[in-house]
Chain A
């Protein structure tokens, strides 16, 4: 008998119904990849706004004041650091006679910091949304046994925010029970220390739970495991060659190709993984995947052919960053999940 047939309490199930986990993973790769290729603050802002709308639609949680406060904070911090430590730029806003901290504070340094902050904010937004719409277990199920430590780290990372929140609530309750209520910033250490301990303990517990459940020891022959490990190692070498030795592009391609073939073979030998219930891959998932991959392809091609269109460099004299409608429209393709999610 199937558990579905047994009935049960379905009231807690998430609504609305989202996309296939693989479609979400591809969305995250494309949105994150785009954010990494861009330095134009306007286009980064488009990625952030689109991502927030996607999350709103997928989880029903609308962005609030805290969300925007965090985003502003992420942009402000690099801007402040850069204006203090960079002396480059022609447009001097302020000159302070303060020894090593003094000197000209420039508009260009401020703008460079803001764009760096916008890039960090967009990447973290994408990762945060990925963590909201994809359950850690969906990722774990698709993690090859050879990548066990990465799977554990990803699981803990994805549940980190919710775990900190849970620990904070528990800690606040415990302190109230003991007659204590933090009132000002001076009381912060009494919260942060225990919070860190609780969160680390929780991560430890998850890792312990995974270990005794046999995660990382999936069904498969030793030979298949060796092929998988070799494939991953060779793929990593190929990607490293591409990243650090651009002249070795063909050599890197050979490594990537060999690594890919070995991974394919390992996958073939492992057979079809067993699932209690497979998620259904729909036409809408295919459309979302296609649109997102198309969007990333456009940006990747531009990064090779016309990188100037994607970046913004305010030095030596600040100029207004240009807003390119075609690129913005391409980034809007990342909103594909919004149009394909249906209510339960």
Chain B
């Protein structure tokens, strides 16, 4: 037996409710086990109990026993377990130690005492498999979220551990990279007999790989089924179902059909109507590195546009440029006929809200409820809030944690808290960077429903995402970004399949050039 967990009950310091409650689990060597559960159900904690961070690093009350290849984690520290267990965290950037990609991968390998030649062979292999060759000397801080996650995977897999723990490993990866990662998992699984435990919301690609499927709910391992309902599984990223009329329906991780996709039949006829957001010939970049060039894009009132593209294609840079956090080098950004590029971010923020990819820094109040109040106060709306905070929290499933310290929440809950904190002012345009990161299927459904309710009130939404399933289910239009350029657009219903990057031709800037109609800096 590779992993044995006997009656594990664990409570974090200063908490009353256990994060894991009487968990019993046995995993044979070579099994690939998928761990499901809603945000905050205890998935990351269970992984932490296997790599020894629970309880050695976090403290808290620990009862029961966890053994990894016979090694009792109560007595073996994470450092000792590291030779057996590799871990990929949900937010990899905060765990990086060195300065560059190569150093980061090499650092873990050097501790193993491998020969230099073997280290070089492994590094080259990893770099090629995870498409990291061009990034090897790049500073870690200048990588996109997806690139950082690939590096974290490379670090964990470099040591070729017997057990691999992955906390949402493909949540930030685009479809081709996610498929490459999963195919490598199969290869490692087959060739090395690797035991793998994956906490993942994105289950489509794992169906055919997983030996077992575990479900965690409120810290209890409530269900344990032999296999996925559909052993074949859908190709990763492909939409799981399609409703008549070209609309797509999803299924949650348990194979149940989700609630019907919100009615999109009222989709507006945008032809001829002035755009809410109009981007003209935008170019932006970091230091000497250009990222975006000649980006042209319109978003109309009440429209939900998904911006899809591979990791590093410039999605985040575009949203940051629109918000003013990264001043454009050239080009113009118009919001309802008012030119906004060059204006102060705090000024723009009243009408255009932005939720970054990792919203950790966005949350700094004492409670989730206070986060919403804080935003309202900054905009002078606390006496007359456009959206009622309690209702919004309830809609996003945060009512039960409204009084909790936001930074103690799970990744999915933090994401929702950040969204609530910026949309409570009911902005005209909402920019979301990878909003489904760390969200389970039901929460994604709630978010999609909320976006559609908001758009009925006229709010426009621009979503940067590589989750094509979410993009196709909840957006009116999908725009593809590749190499810093918009390479094409498809409307919902016309093409429910993943965005055809290969076939898309770069779009002419002139063809998309908007006509704002009103003056500069009005």
* A residues apposed to B, CB below 8 Å: 1-3, 5-13, 135-137, 140-141, 148, 155, 166-167, 170-171, 173-181, 193-194, 197-198, 201-202, 205-219, 273-277
Q: Known contacts A3-B124, A177-B323, A179-B378; is A8 also within 8 Å of B137 by CB?
A: yes
A178 and B422: CB pair below 8 A?
Answer: yes
18 contacts across the A-B interface (CB closer than 8 A): A1-B124, A3-B124, A8-B134, A8-B136, A9-B138, A135-B103, A177-B362, A177-B422, A194-B364, A205-B91, A205-B95, A206-B94, A213-B107, A213-B108, A214-B79, A273-B110, A276-B109, A276-B123
Question: B140 to chain A: closest CB distance in Å?
Answer: 10
For the complex, is B12 an interface residue (Cβ under 8 Å from A)? no
Question: A2 to chain B: closest CB distance in Å?
Answer: 5
Question: B417 to chain A: closest CB distance in Å?
Answer: 13
Residues of A within 8 A of B208 (CB): none
Q: How far is the CA of A176 from the CA of B51 in the complex (A)?
A: 38
Please tell me which one of the listed residues B97, B102, B350 contacts residue A140 in the complex, with CB atoms under 8 A apart. Answer: B97
Q: Known contacts A6-B133, A137-B98, A206-B95; is A178 also within 8 Å of B108 by CB?
A: no
Q: How many A-B residue pairs have CB under 8 A?
A: 195
The 10 closest A-B pairs by CB, nearest first: A214-B82, A209-B95, A217-B79, A205-B94, A219-B113, A176-B345, A194-B364, A179-B378, A170-B361, A211-B78
A215 and B111: CB pair below 8 A?
Answer: yes
Q: How far is the CA of A5 from the CA of B110 in the complex (A)?
A: 20
B346 and A181: CB pair below 8 A?
Answer: yes
Residues of B within 8 A of A5 (CB): 124
Question: B210 to chain A: closest CB distance in Å?
Answer: 24
Please tell me which one of the listed residues A11, A209, A275 contacts residue B110 in the complex, with CB atoms under 8 A apart. Answer: A275
Residues of A within 8 A of B362 (CB): 174, 177-178
- Interface positions, chain B 354-368, Cβ under 8 Å from A, are 354, 356, 360-362, 364
Most buried by B among A9, A206, A275: A9
For the complex, is B325 an interface residue (Cβ under 8 Å from A)? yes
- 6 further interface pairs, Cβ-Cβ under 8 Å (given A2-B124, A177-B345, A213-B155): A3-B136, A6-B124, A174-B364, A181-B346, A198-B360, A207-B57
Please tell me which one of the listed residues A11, A176, A197, A198 contacts residue B325 in the complex, with CB atoms under 8 A apart. Answer: A176
Q: How far is the CA of A13 from the CA of B99 in the complex (A)?
A: 10
B87 and A212: CB pair below 8 A?
Answer: yes
Contact with A along B104-140 (1 / 0, CB 8 A): 0011111111111001110110011000011111110
Chain B interface: which size bin?
A: 35 or more
Q: How far is the CA of A198 from the CA of B406 in the complex (A)?
A: 13
Residues of B within 8 A of A179 (CB): 346, 349-350, 375, 378-379, 425
Residues of A within 8 A of B109 (CB): 276
Please tell me which one of the listed residues A140, A167, A212 contacts residue B78 in the complex, with CB atoms under 8 A apart. Answer: A212
Most buried by A among B110, B123, B138: B110
For the complex, is B513 an interface residue (Cβ under 8 Å from A)? no
Residues of A within 8 A of B110 (CB): 141, 273-276
Closest to B124 in A: A1
Q: Known contacts A194-B364, A214-B111; is A208 also within 8 Å of B53 by CB?
A: yes
Closest to B355 in A: A177
Q: How far is the CA of A177 from the CA of B421 in the complex (A)?
A: 10
Q: How far is the CA of A60 from the CA of B342 in the complex (A)?
A: 30
Q: Known contacts A3-B120, A178-B421, A219-B112; is A8 also within 8 Å of B361 by CB?
A: no
Residues of B within 8 A of A11 (CB): 288-289
For the complex, is B374 an interface residue (Cβ under 8 Å from A)? yes
B346 and A275: CB pair below 8 A?
Answer: no
Q: How far is the CA of A141 from the CA of B106 in the complex (A)?
A: 11
Question: A257 to chain B: closest CB distance in Å?
Answer: 30
Residues of B within 8 A of A141 (CB): 107, 110
- Interface positions, chain B 410-457, Cβ under 8 Å from A, are 421-422, 425
Q: Known contacts A179-B349, A214-B108; is A155 also within 8 Å of B97 by CB?
A: yes
Q: How far is the CA of A155 from the CA of B107 in the complex (A)?
A: 14
Residues of A within 8 A of B360 (CB): 198, 201
Residues of B within 8 A of A275 (CB): 110, 116
B422 and A274: CB pair below 8 A?
Answer: no
Q: How far is the CA of A87 from the CA of B391 in the complex (A)?
A: 64
